[in-house]
Amino acid sequence: MIHTTVFASALTSVPCWLINEGQVSYAVALEVQRRLVQEHRENPDLPDVLILLEHPPVYTLGQGATLDFLKFDPMVTNWEVHRVERGGEVTYHCPGQLVGYPILNLRRYQQDLHWYLRQLEEVLIRALAVWGLQGDRVSGLTGVWVEGRKVAAIGIKVSRWITMHGFALNVCPDLQGFKEIVPCGISDRPVGSLAEFIPGIDLDRVRPVVAASFAEVFGVELIASAWPK
């Protein structure tokens, strides 16, 4: 069981900066990620980073995503839409969803993208277990499901073994925005949230649990840090 007030793994003292933010526009967060990745490529000795935040309503598409999974025309809409360098299809971010952006040098862990994806899933599975929820994997797909409902999406980009983008955990969001897309290109599996299983849950309760789970899975010590200027 993960203790929600402890962010460090007992087995290591490898530092990782933890940046806890509230609601940040997608464009601003993307610019910060890209800048951090560049800094870590230029100086691989910099500590890793985990950013936890929320976004205002926004749709994002992976670099190879098809527009067929949008139920609206992105050229004539009031929705904010971004095509970015991560893998995967279209997804939706909004308040009440905890988004995590790890900036990790995988040379410190394993230089294996499949391993990294499974580790991100494991972070969320262990976090859900704190509330007695069983997080499941689905063979051939990426993400985490609870009772057949997808509660977490994952999409990453890795450049010279430095990671960006990450995971989105539906804690207590308004799920209506997902009706405008085929989430992650999966039409036969519904999207869900933790609030459907744990009434009254909010991000303030989930943030420290996810942080502690991340520290445990990756074997790091999380050190509180400010939003990059």
DSSP class per residue in 43-70: -TTSPEEEEEEE-SSEEEE-TT--GGGB
Question: Which residues are catalytically annotated?
Answer: 184
Mean pLDDT of the chain: 92
Residue 4 belongs to some domain of the structure: no
> How confident is residue 128, by pLDDT bands cut at 50, 70 and 90?
very high
H/E segment holding residue 218: helix 203-218
Tokens of 45: 């000795």
Q: Average pLDDT for residues 76-94, to the nearest whole number?
A: 91
Residue 3 belongs to some domain of the structure: no
Tokens of 147: 């009772």
Q: Give yes or no for residue 9 having a pLDDT over 60.
A: no
Residue 10 belongs to some domain of the structure: no
Q: Which domain range does residue 99 map to?
A: 15-224
Q: Give yes or no for residue 37 having a pLDDT over 80.
A: yes
pLDDT of residue 2: 34
Residue 34 belongs to some domain of the structure: yes
Residue 115 belongs to some domain of the structure: yes
153: domain CATH number?
A: 3.30.930.10
d(CA 110, CA 116): 8
Residue 1 belongs to some domain of the structure: no
Among residues 81, 88, 97, 106, the alpha carbon closest in space to that of 30 is found at 81
Residue 2 belongs to some domain of the structure: no
- In the block, tokens 């409902």 appear at 149
pLDDT of residue 6: 38
Listed ranges 65-79, 162-176, 179-193; the one with the highest mean pLDDT = 162-176
Residue 19 belongs to some domain of the structure: yes
Number of domains in the chain: 1
